[in-house]
Structure 1
Amino acid sequence: MKDFVRVAAVSPNVKVADPFYNVEEMLKWAKEAEKEAVSLLVYPELSVSGYTANDLLLQESLQEACKKALKIFSVKTKKSPVLFVIGYPLVHKGKLFNTAVVMQGGMILGIVPKRHLPNHSEFYEERYFQEGREEVEWIQDFLEKDGDIPFGMHLHFIADHDERFRLAVEICEDLWVPNPPSVTHCLMGATVIANTTASDALIKKNDSRRALVQHSSGCLHNAYVYTSAGPSESTQDMVFSAHSMVAENGKILAESPRFYEGMTFGEIDLSVLWRERIKQNTFETVEENAVQVPFTLFKADYLAQGISVKQLDEVERKAGTRRGLTGEKAGAKEVESSKKEKRLILKRFINPMPFLPVDSSKDFERGEEILSIQAHGLKKRLQHIGAKKVILGLSGGLDSTLALFVAVKCFQLLGYDLKNIIAVTMPSFGTSEITHSNALESARILGTDMREIPIHDAVLQHFRDISYDENKRDVVYENAQARERTQILMDLANKEGALLIGTGDLSESALGFSTYNGDHMSMYSVNCDVPKTAIPLILHSFVKDLEDASKDKKEKEQVEELKKTVEKIIHVPVSPELMPPNEKGEIQQKTEEILGPYALHDFFLYMHLRYGFSAKKVFFLACHAFSKENLKYYSRDAEEIAYTPVQILNCLKIFYKRFFAQQFKRSCTPDGPKVGRIGLSPRGDLRQASDASSQIWLKELEEIESSL
C-alpha cells in the first residue's frame, strides 16, 4: 500500500553557537531517519546555530561557521533519500534571515524565510532578522555548486511521482498569527506543512501548541510536522520544550514527551488528505503563484500487520499494481540512490472502532453527547406536532432499549409524564425469555407505560389468509412478524395520539437488515445515525447520568437495578428473533453469524463513506486495524475483535453486496437526527441510486480472494 509516507520531527542535542557540533548531532538523526525509512525529517528552528545564540548571530565568524557546517551536512547526506528541513540563519544581500533550508541528496532545493518575527515578551527576533517575503528570488551558488536556489515563502516542494505530497514550510511564530502562511499554502495546494520552531516551555503552552497544530491540520486538511528546540538550548532566561508532533487531518498521530531530545515519527496517509479535499467543496483554492520545486519522494510499500508479504505479493501481482522505484531525479538535481523500494510493516495505530473515541476515558462524554442530540431531535418533533405521547416497540435488545432511553431523556427535557411513553412488547415465535424479561424490567424500572400484545395468533391468521404454510421457515415467516408489529404500533399510535419512534440503527440501515415497511418504517427514527458498536457506550452513559442525579436510597437502588439489566442487554447476542429459539429456549437466530461481526461492518462503513476508499484500501486498513499487533495499543478489551484476512474479506463481500442492494430501503426512510460524520439519509449524506452496481468493488475483492 503506497498511500502512506513516514515523516519525522526531531529535537537533537545542541551546543549554542557551535554549528559543527550541532551538524554532527543532526547527522546522527539523519542516519537514524534513513534507517527507519523516513521520507521527511524536520529539525528545529535555527538548528545549525542554536536558537539562543542571540547577538552572536550577528557575528561574521558564526555566520561563516554555519555555512561551512551546512556544507558538511550536505556532503554527508549526498546519498540519502530523506527530504530534510533545517533551521538556518541565512545572510542574503546584507540582511540576516531566519530560514528553513530544504535539502535532499546533498542538494539544497529551496530556502524558506520566516514571515512573522516575534518581538514581544521573551522574544526579540527583530533585533537580528529581516522579515521574509512572499516573492521568490534566486540565490546563486550558495554552497558553491548548487546552481540557482529559490528563496522565498511561496515555495512548494512537490513529489515527482505523487502529486498528493506537496510540502510547504512555515517557521514557529508563523503558526501563532491570525493568518498563518500555511493557510495560503494549503489553498494553493500544499498538503504537508513542516514547521521548524523554537517554542519555550511555559505552563499550559503544550496544550496551546497541540491545539494550533490540530486546528491547522483539521481545517486545512493537511499533514502537519512540528518540531521544537529542546532543553539543550541556553536556559539563561527560558527552557525549550522539545515538543514534537505529527498531525493528520485534525488528529495527532504522534507526539513526543516533554523535553524529549529524539525523533518522533508518524505515518501519514496521503489519500485521507486527498479524499477530504475532493469531498469538501467549501475548501476553496486560490490562484497558484508558488514556485514548484520537484523532488523524489522516498516511498515504501507498506504492509498491514495482519497480512503476510506472500499474500500481498500475490494480490498485487494479480491486480497488476506492483511497481518499482518512483524515479531518481528531483527536477534537474539528481539524487544518488541505488536502494530498492523498501517494504515496511505499518506501525501507525488504526482505530478498529472508528465510531468510538480512541481514549475510552471519553466514552461517557461521547455517549452523553449522542443521547442529547437524539433527545433534542425528538423534542423538537414532539413540540412541532403538539404530541405529548410516544410509542415504541420494546424487544429487550440494544436498539429498542436505546430508543426507550432517548424517549425518557426527551420527556425529562420537556417535563412530560414518563407514563406517556408507551413501550409495547409483542412476543412471537422467536421471542426468548431473556429479551422478554429485559424489556419488561427496563420499562418497569424507568416508570414508563408497558404493554404486552402477543402476535402469535394474528400472524397465524395472516398465514391462513395468504395461504402460507406456517411450517416453512423463510422470508415470509420472518417478515410477516415484523410487519404485524409495525401495523400494531402504527394503529396504536393513532389511537393514543402518539408519535411512533423507530428503533433501527445506522449499521442495520447500511446492511439493509430490516423488513421493508416493517421495522424499516416509523414516524421518527431516533437511532438512524447511531452505529451498533456505539450503542453500549450510550446506554452506559444514560445509566451513569441517572446515577449522578440520584438523590435518595430508592433512586440509587433503581439505578443499580437498571445497571444490571443494561449489562444483560449488552451481552445478549444481537438478533431479530424472528426464528424460534432452540430446545433450551436460547436465541438461535444470531445476526452476527449471518452477516459477520458488526465491529467489521461499522469499520467498513466508516472507511467507505467517510473517505471514499477503494475496496482494496478498506481491506488493507481492516487487516491492520483488527490484527493482534495493532490491538495491543487499543485502550479497550479487544481480544474478541481480532480477525484474520480471510474473515475480513468474507465479511467485506457481504458488506458491499448488501450496501448496494439494500439502497432502496434507505431511499424512503423516516426523518431522524444525524449525530456523527457518517449518515445515510437520502435527504442528506447519501444520494445513491437504488439500482447502482457494486461490481467494481466486488471485482477488487475477487482479485484479493484469489490470492488468500
Structure 2
Amino acid sequence: MQEGSTCATSFASLYRHGFVRVAVAVPEVRVADPAFNVERSLDLAHRAAREGAIMTVFPELGLSSYSAEDLFHQDALQDAVDTALDRFVEESRRITGVLVVGAPMRLDGRLFNCAVVVHRGEILGVVPKSYLPNYREFYEKRQFVAARDTTVDRISVGGRSVPFGNDLLFDASTVAGFVFHVEICEDGWVPMPLSGYAALGGATVLINLSASNIVVGKADYRRQLCTGHSARYIAGYLYAAAGSGESTTDLAWDGHALVCENGEVLAESERFAGGGQLVTADVDLQRLAADRMRMTSFTDNARDHRDRLRLLRRVTFAPTLPDTVVRLRREIERFPYVPADPAGRNERCAEVHHIQVQGLVTRLAATGLQNVVIGVSGGLDSTQALIVAIRSMDRLGLPRTNVLAYTMPGFATSSRTLTSARRLMSALGTTAHEIDIRPSAMQMLRDLNHPAAYGAAVYDVTFENVQAGERTSHLFRLANHHDALVVGTGDLSELALGWSTYGVGDQMSHYNVNASVPKTLIRYLISWVIETGQFGPQAAAALQAVLDTEISPELIPSPDPASAQPMQSSEAVVGPFDLQDFHLYYLLRFGYRPSRIAYLAQHAWSDRTRGRWPDLVPPDQRHEYDLATIKRWLEVFLRRFVQTSQFKRSALPNAPKVGSGGSLSPRGDWRAPSDASAQAWIHELSHDVPG
C-alpha cells in the first residue's frame, strides 16, 4: 500500500497515531543449511506482514546458523548463504515491511558476522559486528573479523553497491520518528554500546541480532540488559536470540525474543519452544519522542558527543504500510495514575501516602507550628487530607487532637455528607467542631443585595461562592486564632479542570497535601487505608460511606429539604473524572495532540473487556465511553485546562509533587500563560477525530 492510503491513515489504524508494529522472529534452523533456513525465515516474515508489522528482526547468523564453527570457512557454505540471501531479497518484494536478517559475508579476504537490512527487493545496508567475544564458550575471532577491520564504507552485494558499517541509521521517511540502528549480540553487552551513540543521533528503535546460548540465570540478565538499554536510551529495543535447531554439541539455546520500550517489556517469546516463534508489539514512537524532548540532559549528552554523532550515516527509505487497518494491540491502562495490579497499587498508595505525610511534617517542623486546621466536607478530597493530617501528627509524636477539624454545613449540605464528616472527625480522634455558615453567608448576600437573601431561588455563581468564601475565611481566621496551619484539600483533577473557586479552600491554603494527586488515585488511597485497617472498623465504615457518595460541590440546595442526595453532580458539569484523568495524564505528561489522546481513550475505554480493571472498581462502575462521548468531554477538558483556569493554578500554594505523571505547580512541572487560547487544540480535535 502506498503512502496516503485510507487504510494507513484511518483513525482506527495505529500507524495514524505514532505507533509501529514490530516483530521479532526466531525461526527453526538447521546447522549449515541456508536453503532450509531461508525458507523458515521467510515463512515468519510473511506471517509478520500479515499481522501488520512494519519490521521483522531475525537472530544472529540466522541464514547459516550461528553454531557452524569452522564450517564458516568452507566455500560451499558461503556460496549457499549467498544463494539464500538472494532468495531472501527477491522474496522480500512480496513482503510489506523491512527485514533484518543475520548472515556471514565475505569481503576482501575477510569474513564478517553481519546483519543485512532488506526492504522490498533491495538491500538498504549491511552492518558488521563490532565486538567479537573470545572468552569462555565463545571463539568468534577464530572465524570472523570485527567491523573496525574494514577499510570500506560500501560493498557490492548481488551486483549492487550498498552501505556497509556499524555507523548506519535507517530512517523511514514515510513513518515519522521511525529511525533504527542495528547491533549484533556482544555489541549490546559492552560497557559503551554503539547503540547509545545511535540513540543520541536520533535512532528511536534499537535492534540486536543475537545468538546467545542459554545457561542458568542468563535469561533474567538478558531481560535486565534489554529493558535497561531501552530505558537509558529512551528507545524501543528489539532482541532476537537463536533457538531450535542450533547445535547442542556443547551449548543449548532457548530462542529468547524480546521487545522492550523505555524500561518495559512489551512482548516476550516462550523460551525453549520447538519450531519457529514470532512475537509482535506496538512501539510508541511519539511517547519516546515526547520523553526525549522533555529530558534536556538527553540533548546535552548528544552535544557532548557531537563529533562522534556527525560520523553517523543515514540511509533513508520509504517503507510501505499494511494495506489493511492495523488496530492497536497494546494495552492502554484506563487508570494511568493507578496500577491495575493489586500489589503494585498497594505499593503506589503507600508511597503516595508517605510523600504527602512527609511534606506536611516537614512544613510543620519548618514553621514551628503544632496544630493544623482543616475543613471536612464528607467528600473525597477533604477525607484524604484529613488522613494525611492525622498521620502527620502520629509521625511528629503529637496528639491527634492537634488536628482541628471543622465541618461547615451550608445551604446545600446533604445529611449524607454531614453525617460522614461528623463520623470521620470522631473516628479519627480529631478535635471536632461544627460551624453553620448559613447566617454569615446570608449576611453577605444581604450586603450584596442578592435576591437569595430575600427568599428568591437565585442560585448563581455569587450564591455558590459566598458559601465557599465563608468557609475559607473561617478556616484562615481559625488558624490565626489557634496558631495553626490551614491544610488544603483540592486535588490535581479539579485544579486541571478549574473546578475550584479562586482564593478558597480547594484552591488556596497554607499547604495543600493533595495538589498533585488526581481524583481517581484519591479513591484508591482511601480504599487502601480501609483495606490495611489503619484506623479500625468505625473509621473504615465512615471512609466507605465517603467512597459511596456522589462527587458534588453541594452549593445549590435541593427542592426537597429532606433529601440525602446532593442537588449538583460535579461530573455532570466537568465530565467523568476517570476519563478526564486519562486526558490529563496524556496531555500533561506527554503533550499529545487531542486526536491521539482520543484514540488512546477509545482503545482503553470503549470496550470494558479490552483492558484490566483494578479489582476495587465495582462491576456497576465499569463504564464504557464511545468515541463521541470521549470527544465531547475531551473538548470540555481542553477548554477548561488550556484557556479558562490557568490563572487559578498560577497562584497555587506550596504542595508536594507525588508522581511522575506531573503536577500543576507554577514552580514545578507546569508553567503556562493565563490568557492562552485553546483554539489550536479544539481545531485539531474537531478536524482529526471523526464523529
TM-score, normalised to structure 1's length?
A: 0.88
Alignment of 1:385-396 (within 5 A): 385-396=367-378
Aligned in 2, Cα 1:517/1:97: closer, same or farther, shift over 3 Å? same
Question: In structure 2, how many angstroms separate the alpha carbons of the residues matched to 1:171 and 1:407?
Answer: 55
Give the AA of the match of 2:490.
G
Contact 2:26 2:58 in 1 (8 A): yes
The answer as to whether partners of 2:18 and 2:176 remain within 8 angstroms in 1 is no
Distance in 2, matches of 1:227 and 1:282, equals: 30
- 2:645 equivalent among 662, 665, 675: 662
Q: In the alignment, does 2:210 pair up with 1:197?
A: yes
Could you say what secondary structure the match of 2:56 adopts? strand
Q: Match for 2:225 among 187, 212, 219?
A: 212
Separation in structure 1 between the aligned mates of residue 614 and residue 320 of structure 2, nearest angstrom: 33
Contact persistence 2:27–2:244 (CA under 8 A): no
Q: Which residue is 2:133 aligned to?
A: 118
Matched residue count: 655
How far is the alpha carbon of 1:383 from its aligned partner? Answer: 1.2
Alignment deviations for residues 236-291 of structure 1 (CA, whole Å, 9 cap, x no partner): 44432322222233333222233344111112232222222222222122342212
- Supply the AA of the counterpart residue of 2:123: I
Q: Is the 8 A contact 1:156 1:168 kept in 2?
A: yes
Checking the alignment, whether the CA contact within 8 Å between 2:331 and 2:611 is kept in structure 1 is no
* Partners of 1:46 and 1:536 in 2: CA distance: 53
Residue 546 of structure 1, CA deviation? 4.9
Opposite residue 86 of structure 1, the aligned amino acid is: V
AA paired with 1:483?
A: G
Matched, 1:569 2:551: no
197-206 vs 565-574, which moves further: 197-206
8 Å CA contact 1:407–1:421 kept in 2: the answer is: yes
Query: How far apart are the structure 1 equivalents of 2:340 and 2:130?
Result: 37
2:142 pairs with 1:127: yes
Q: Name the aligned partner's letter for residue 52 of structure 2.
A: A
- 1:283 counterpart letter in structure 2: F
Could you tell me whether the CA contact under 8 Å between 2:516 and 2:658 is conserved in 1? yes
Tell me how large the CA RMSD over aligned residues is: 2.2
The whole-number CA distance in structure 2 between the counterparts of 1:134 and 1:410 is 65
Preserved CA contact (<8 Å) 1:46 1:89:
yes
SS of residue matched to 1:402: helix
Please point out which of 458, 465, 470 is paired with 1:484.
Answer: 470
Distance 1:534 1:238, change over 3 A: farther
Structure 2 counterparts to residues 13-52 of structure 1, below 5 A? 13-52=28-67
CA distance in 1, matches of 2:523, 2:211: 45
The yes-or-no answer on 1:369 pairing with 2:351 is: yes
Residue 578 of structure 2 is aligned to residue 594 of structure 1? no
Match of 2:679 in 1: 695
Following superposition, the deviation at residue 179 of structure 1 comes to 1.6
Q: Which amino acid aligns with 1:537?
A: Y
Q: Could you report, residue by residue, the CA deviation over 1:377-419 in whole angstroms, capped at 9, with x for unpaired residues?
A: 1121111111112121111211111111222232233222222
8 A Cα contact 2:242 2:253, kept in partner:
yes
Distance (Å, rounded) in 2 between the aligned partners of 1:200 and 1:499:
63
Structure 1: stretches of 5+ with no match in the other structure:
301-340, 548-557
Partner of 1:536: 523
- Identical counterparts, % of pairs: 40
- 1:83-162 alignment runs, 5 A limit: 83-133=98-148, 137-143=152-158, 145=159, 147-162=160-175
Which residue number corresponds to residue 193 of structure 2? 180
Of residues 644, 657, 665 in structure 2, which corresponds to 1:674?
657
**Residue deviations 1:527-562 (CA, integer Å, cap 9, x gap):** 110111111222233344555xxxxxxxxxx52333
Q: Does 1:292 align with 2:310?
A: no
- Tell me the alpha carbon deviations over residues 656-699 of structure 1, each in whole angstroms, 9 at most, x when there is no partner: 11112111100101010111221111112111110011111112
1:507 corresponds, among 493, 500, 516, to 493
SS in 2 for 1:641: coil
TM-superposed deviation, 1:567: 2.5
Residue in 2 that maps onto 1:79: 94
Superposition deviation, residue 632 in structure 1: 4.3
1:607 to 586, 597, 601: 586
CA deviations 1:10-50 (Å, max 9, x no partner) are 11111222222111110101111221221110001121122
Q: Deviations over 1:99-140 (max 9, x none)?
A: 211111222211112222333344333333322239883444
Q: Tell me how far apart the structure 2 counterparts of residues 485 and 77 of structure 1 sit (CA, whole Å).
A: 72
Whole-Å Cα distance in 2 between the matches of residues 632 and 7 of structure 1? 21
State whether structure 2 residue 245 is matched by structure 1 residue 232: yes
Alpha-carbon distance between aligned partners in 1 of 2:611 and 2:262, rounded to the nearest angstrom: 24
SS at match of 2:556: coil
What secondary structure sits across from 1:169 in the alignment? strand
SS of alignment partner, residue 242 of structure 1: coil
Q: Counterparts of 2:163 and 2:605 in 1: how far apart (Å)?
A: 46
Partner residue, 1:521: 508
Q: Is the 8 A contact 1:27 1:73 kept in 2?
A: yes
Q: Distance in 2 between matches of 1:243 and 1:398?
A: 47
8 Å Cα contact 1:631/1:642 also seen in 2: no
Output one character per residue of 1:65-119: Cα deviation in whole Å (capped at 9) or x when no partner.
2222222212222332321111222232333322211111222211112222333
Which moves more between the two structures, 618-627 or 210-219? 210-219
Contact 1:5-1:299 within 8 A present in 2 as well: no
Judge conservation of contact 1:86–1:102 (CA < 8 Å) in 2: yes
1:567-594 deviations in Å (ceiling 9; x for gaps) = 3222211111112246332122111111
Distance 2:207 2:526 in 1: 43
Question: 1:136, 1:155 within 8 Å by CA — same for their partners in 2?
Answer: no
CA distance in 2 between partners of 1:237 and 1:462 (Å): 89
Amino acid at match of 2:349: G
Alignment correspondent of 1:245: 258
Match of 2:448 among 450, 458, 466: 466
Mapped contact 2:340–2:612 kept (Cα < 8 A): no
SS at match of 2:298: coil
Q: 2-side partners of 1:241 and 1:35: how far apart? A: 26
Q: Distance in 1 between matches of 2:652 and 2:448?
A: 27
For 1:440 and 1:365, the matched residues in 2 are separated by 30
8 Å contact kept, 2:414–2:565: yes
Distance 2:225 2:538 in 1: 45
C-alpha distance in structure 2 between counterparts of 1:699 and 1:411, whole Å:
50
* Aligned counterpart in structure 2 of residue 580 of structure 1, from 549, 553, 557: 557
Cα gap change, 1:559/1:54 in structure 2, threshold over 3 Å: closer, same or farther? farther
Alignment match, 2:12: none
Name the stretch that deviates more: 279-288 or 659-668.
279-288
Matching of residues 215-364 of structure 1 within 5 Å: 215-260=228-273, 261-284=276-299, 285=302, 286=306, 287-300=309-322, 341-364=323-346
What does residue range 368-447 of structure 1 map to in structure 2 within 5 Å? 368-447=350-429
Tell me the CA shift for residue 7 of structure 1. 0.8
Aligned 8 A contact 2:60 2:209 in 1: yes
Distance 1:438 1:121 in 2: 69
Per the normalisation by structure 2, the TM-score is 0.90
| Contact 1:136 1:150 survives alignment (8 Å) | no
Q: Which residue in the other structure is 1:319 paired with?
A: none
Q: Distance in 2 between matches of 1:699 and 1:52?
A: 58
Partner of 1:451: 433
SS at match of 1:62: helix
* 3-state SS of 1:199 partner: coil
After superposition, the Cα gap between the structure-2 partners of 1:513 and 1:79, relative to the gap in structure 1 and judged at 3 Å, is same
Give, in whole Å, the separation in 2 of the partners of 1:47 and 1:81: 20
